Structure 1
């Protein structure tokens, strides 16, 4: 039986400022100038006499939102910059707060528009006469929780014909969580052309993952996939694609029925298949939503194994 999981495929990624260096870490330096103003830079100061201290922040590949910290004299300003072609919600928190007061109180979330930036927080010293330090953690998730998905007639995401559904709504193998409850696993031979079930903007792609298996620690949430943002703010996920099988790029506009990829067997999967779901941002939480899908003979009726999605 072909079944798989793609629920954790999202930008639910942690970005940390001033933490010990993890993989894919970038380095920054902090020092004071002649007037005592703290300076941040991506290179050490030219003056060798400056007392520069370095730190790192994690910037995982593919994450569209990065944090910038600016010293405004009276406070530090933390800004989130989004390079994605769609909105991304971020949540900021402080892992360390020595003699500082964040405004607003943290944790706090903001929606960063496509290609835009938002000041997420300002960090003020409690006592300016004393040293201060902080560490900021950020989570990011695609989509805008204010979006209201509309009823839409999705087409089957491959050429019409007979196909087996190996796991439907509420499937106990891997469709029991909120991100996957309303997902469908279509049993497709590897290399089958995948078509856009609905038009939209390509928001995220992954095509370099090579392996498949049932070890959750190694393969859970890992797969080649495409995420397409629709005009109503919902997002379609096409997962377990063939290595190098993605045929679209981030930011590309695609139309319904357009070829976008080749099906495969990557990530947490037992055999070749296409995992399809429509998701929405429920507030720093991806949630699969019900959808209607049509083929050559009309609307498809998917069986539901569990009675209701998780809360």
Structure 2
């Protein structure tokens, strides 16, 4: 990759934006605008352009990249869809196939994700894993580049995907120029910065649900398996088996995720010092809390508060 813009020896970059039924139009038009900005800046330096085509039915033309955007109405595609067969043909001709958010389902139905690292919106994790168990889902990432397959996470991750493709085609200098023009951050985001812990409570196991409610009410307690099993009215071995089956997590991981989620809320809504928040969610050692919080969210507690805090910090007040 070069740090200068492309010159006239570089060919134009042809991109298909798949306008499938239910596709998010804002993403399609936003990507078109992003590529237009990049094209204008490239051509002003004597370089090529990104040629965009919105596709709602199969075409004979060959593309360098094919993008399946997000969907706001639950559209997921099926293996019988003609657009999926067309995308497979484009892939076989050398196109890089890309998706944003639920667009990854279309790539999955195309049979292209077996053994592949892939991301989608973190809230779609369970649905995606059930549909495509052979894919290596990594929902903590905003974007995963697997060479001929590129997937991006949440609804607005089309910005990350668009800038990534601009970089592949035109180099980092063009990415920077495009990002500055659009007033967006060209890098550094991860989905885990935004991801919330949403435990399953619809599993139908009343004993385990009782433990989940108890943990919600006692985030500052370092409960042992024996104590939690007593809350459930079960033996330790039976409790562990049923808790894992109901929630998908061992009790220790579940409790850790729950504490971090409660810490997120306190960082967002209060001015309380980080050490006080650590204590409130069960960490007597602030350094241990700092390690766990960053491991789960990808940000330090102070960085998280600066990015997502809803309470303005007054003079003389500090987040740590």
Structure 2 length-normalised TM: 0.22
User: When you count helix as a share of all residues, which structure comes out higher?
Assistant: 2
Q: Which structure has more RCO (C-alpha within 8 Å, separation ≥ 6)? A: 1
User: When you count strand as a share of all residues, which structure comes out higher?
Assistant: 1
Structure 1 length-normalised TM: 0.22
